[in-house]
Amino acid sequence: TVRLRPLLDEIAGTVLPDGIAYRVVGHDAVVFADKAMLHEVFTNLFANAGQAVAEHGEVVVTLSSMGETLEALMSDNGSGIPPALLERVFEPFFTTRSGGTRLGLAIVRQLVEMQGGQTDIMGSSPAGTTIRVRLPSARDVRGTDTRSAGALAAPTREREGR
C-alpha cells in the first residue's frame, strides 16, 4: 500500500522547477499499488506539468475517494494540449515537444493499468490540462478499510495459489 500525499509532496519537491506553485486539495489516502511504479507515474506527470506551465505557474492535485477507488486529478495552468492531439498523447513515441524519451504518458497509462487503475485526460484548453488517475483504494488515513473483506482477501489467495 502507498500513501499518496507524502509521495506527491516528495516528487513535486524534486521535479517541479523553482517558481512553480504546487498544492494538494482533499484528504490523504492509501492505495493498493507498487510505490516504485507510482513514483514513476507521478514523476512523469509532474515533469509534463512543469514543462507546460510558464514561470510562476501552478500545479494542483485534487484527491478524492469514490468507494473503492481513489481519484487524483492533476491540473496545471499551462498551455494545454491542442484538441486535435488529445487522442494521441498516450501513444508511445508521440510528443509535442523536442527531446525526451517520448514515452512519458504511454508509460503512465501502462503503469496505472498494471496497478488496476485508469488514466485519462479530463480536459485541456489554452488555460491548462487536467489528467485523471484512478487507483484501487486501500483505506483512508484513519485506518478504515474502504474495500469489502472479500475484495481484500481475493488477491491474497491468488498470490498464495489457493
d(CA 115, CA 37): 8
Which residues of the chain fall below pLDDT 50? 140-162
Question: Cell 499518496 sits at which residue?
Answer: 4
What is the reported pLDDT for 144? Answer: 46
Q: What is the pTM of this model?
A: 0.80
Query: Which letter does DSSP use for residue 86 in this model?
Result: G
- Collapse the DSSP code of 73 into the 3-class scheme (helix H, G, I; strand E, B; otherwise coil) and give the result: strand
Rg (CA), the chain: 16
What is the reported pLDDT for 42? Answer: 96
User: Which residues are paired to 72 by β-bridges?
Assistant: 63, 133
Query: Which letter does DSSP use for residue 60 in this model?
Result: E
